[in-house]
Amino acid sequence: MPSRSTTLSIDGAIRDSARWVQICRARLGTMKVLLVDDDDAALKIRKLLLERHGHEVTLANDPPSARVALATANSEVVVTDLRLPEASDGLYLIRDLREAAPNLKIIVLCGNAADIEGREEAKLVDRILVKPVRSEALLKAIEEPN
């Protein structure tokens, strides 16, 4: 018996773009997410949340491991705490991430918005969420197109 399948044809230029992949994965509810936080408990809780919603999650607990993970995991979204443990650590990481991957979605979690507001790095990120962050707000920030 022949199998039934559906074929979707898309213009090659669009099909190959990273942006198109990100939009399709967001619509399917699956994104490759890199979580960066120096708090292991926070990493584990966010990882569970995101995996339960179908996302592929890679963890990093400091900026050097985040840089390595970005190079190897093909992440589409980075969710990072700003203080790693100092705000300056997160600010350096934001600049490095943006330079390494201009189309990467970067979401910053911070306890004090004053640590990033008015700084040049604030213009380099897609979203800033002030902690405590509700699960629904984090999921929406990850899944909505840039």
Spell out the per-residue pLDDT of the chain, length 146, in tens.
444 443 444 444 444 456 655 665 555 668 999 999 999 999 999 999 999 999 999 999 999 999 999 999 999 999 999 999 999 999 999 999 999 999 999 999 999 999 999 999 999 999 999 999 999 999 999 988 87
The CATH code of domain 30-143 reads: 3.40.50.2300
Closest CA to 61 of 76, 77, 46: 46
b/e code 75-110 from CB counts within 10 Å (16+ = b):
bbbbbbbbbbeebebbbebbeebbeebeebbbbbbb
- Residues 88 and 116: their CA atoms lie apart, in Å, by 10
Give me the residue spans of the domains in the chain.
30-143
Neighbour tally for 21: CB within 10 Å: 15
CA angle 119, 123, 127 (to 5 degrees): 110
